[in-house]
A and B are shown apart, each in its own frame.
Chain A
Amino acid sequence: GAGVSQSPSNKVTEKGKDVELRCDPISGHTALYWYRQSLGQGLEFLIYFQGNSAPDKSGLPSDRFSAERTGGSVSTLTIQRTQQEDSAVYLCASSRAGTGGTEAFFGQGTRLTVV
């Protein structure tokens, strides 16, 4: 596609429910990142994929958070038993692999509200 696509754009869920957030990266981009942006805060790294593998999961806040990527393309971030502190904008980004000098392109984000 022309850009990174995320769905849904907004999600309101009840505390304790599970949610799935989807990211469709730019075609051909093998690197994929998830970040979280809380209100008034900077960007918090969650996880990095290279192809279907996740060599860096160091930012996942707890075992309620998981992510997968299939076919070297679409990625899903799953939050189980959501808590109010999970409310944030979840941003996905992709980049071409190769060198660290490659910029990442971001989607518009999914705004998650846990009530």
Chain B
Amino acid sequence: AQSVAQPEDQVNVAEGNPLTVKCTYSVSGNPYLFWYVQYPNRGLQFLLKYITGDNLVKGSYGFEAEFNKSQTSFHLKKPSALVSDSALYFCAVRPMYNFNKFYFGSGTKLNVKP
């Protein structure tokens, strides 16, 4: 079965500090990996994706993510957090052999304090 795990319901960081939001996945074959952000009362907004190639991918708003095949992880990172980064973050995976759906993690609430 395909699954995505976001082990932390909530992550708290101080503004200016680096942040990491964790994601691990279980999927048959090679996956396509995505991060989305959701602000209150809004839909999901695409941040970045890993398809192939360089394991470090860069996306919107200064976010980046590192694909680690051996650890089946795709952690989201940012060198210096902003208060405006506070939101709900979702990791998603899409198996290469099945384009029918994205499998989402349960979400991680990021709180950035001034």
Contacts and interface: CB of A to CB of B under 8 A. Distances in A.
Interface of A: 4, 6, 31, 33, 35, 41-43, 45, 48, 55-56, 59, 91, 93, 99-101, 103-109
Given A42-B104, A42-B105, A48-B101, A100 B32 contact: yes
Contacts, number: 57
Interface stretch (B16-24, B38-46, B65-73): B38-46
Given A100-B32, A100-B95, A56 B100 contact: yes
Contacts of B101: 33, 45, 48, 56, 59
B56 interface: no
Interface of B: 32, 34, 36, 41-46, 49, 51-52, 90, 94-96, 98-107
B44 A100 contact: no
Contacts of A91: 43-44
Nearest to B97: A100
Contacts of A4: 43
Contacts of A59: 101
Nearest to B43: A106
